[in-house]
Amino acid sequence: MKTKHEVLDKGFIEVLDSLGNDLTVANSARVSFGKRKKTYDKSDERLVRYLAKHKHFSPFRHLVVQFHIKAPEFVMRQWYKHVVGIETTSSYPTKDHAWNEISGRYVPVEEYYIPENWRQQSEDNKQASEGTISGQEEAAEAYAKAIQIGKHYYEKLLKLGVAKEQARIVMPLSQYTEVYWTASFQAIVNFIELRDEPTAQWEIREYAKVLKSIMFDLYPSTTQIWEDLYWE
């Protein structure tokens, strides 16, 4: 299975580790009866489909994947809002995910997202874009200038003695960042459901599409069941 998938111009999603398989979900449910199987068959598929259809989601949280993700800051800010799959206990919330990000205080920012084209604002959806604008070259020039201005004043602030953690606030959101994200199957497919849909921003949809492909590689039957029930 391919572990590293390129996204956008410089980004990627890489699978670092994974836990479980399609049978894991069925066995996690069967533990209620003190039973466990060693091979996955049609009866397990029926059980997993029943669990998903009736929203018995806890067995799906036993499937866990660790990703290394490189994406523009504006994509990551949207992503983090959907790092969910949250269970609330009697006293405090627990999350079936972990998220750690590279720090601009230690690692210099050197790469920026360069769009292939510039889209126009949707006429009927304030949160969406559609088509492309006519002034592609002018937009590209303005964008390149904005990046250079941000970099210039970042360096100027550093020379003035300003701390990196404060100077970086002038940097554009198009700068690339990297994170490690470890999440359960439920958290991952929730993200896919919310971000691989027409009103989501194009850039984050590209990441959601790659994630979906990865989940089909890792857990083909379980992911197909989820698609049948929730994505179509």
Among residues 92, 44, 79, the alpha carbon closest in space to that of 181 is found at 79
> For the segment 114-173, what is each residue's pLDDT rounded down to a tens digit?
999 999 988 887 777 888 999 999 999 999 999 999 999 999 999 999 999 999 999 999
> Half-sphere exposure of 2 toward its Cβ, with a 13 Å CA cutoff?
10
Asked if 11 and 68 sit in the same domain, the reply is yes
Residue 207 CB neighbour total at 10 angstroms: 26
Q: Where are the beta strands (DSSP E) in the chain?
A: 4-7, 11-19, 64-72, 86-88, 93-95, 97-101, 119-121, 129-132, 176-184
pLDDT of residue 42: 96
Q: Is residue 11 part of a domain?
A: yes
Asked if 40 and 131 sit in the same domain, the reply is no
Asked if 9 and 56 sit in the same domain, the reply is yes
CATH number of the domain bearing residue 21: 3.30.1360.170
Compute CA distances 39 → 57, 69, 106, 110, whole Å: 21, 32, 47, 48
Average pLDDT, the chain: 90
Asked if 27 and 91 sit in the same domain, the reply is yes
| 194 CA to centre of own chain | 10
Q: Is residue 28 part of a domain?
A: yes
Tell which phi-psi region holds residue 8, choosing left (phi > 0), alpha (psi between -120 and 50) or beta: left
Element (H, E) at 193: helix 185-195
Which residue range forms the structural domain that includes residue 134?
A: 119-170
> For the segment 187-219, what is each residue's pLDDT rounded down to a tens digit?
899 899 989 988 899 999 999 999 999 999 999
pLDDT of residue 127: 75
Mean pLDDT of 76-94: 61
Asked if 22 and 94 sit in the same domain, the reply is yes
195 catalytic? Reply is yes
Q: pTM, whole model, 2 decimals?
A: 0.91
From 49, 119, 195, 205, the catalytic residue: 195
190 beta partners = none
Structural domains counted in the chain: 2
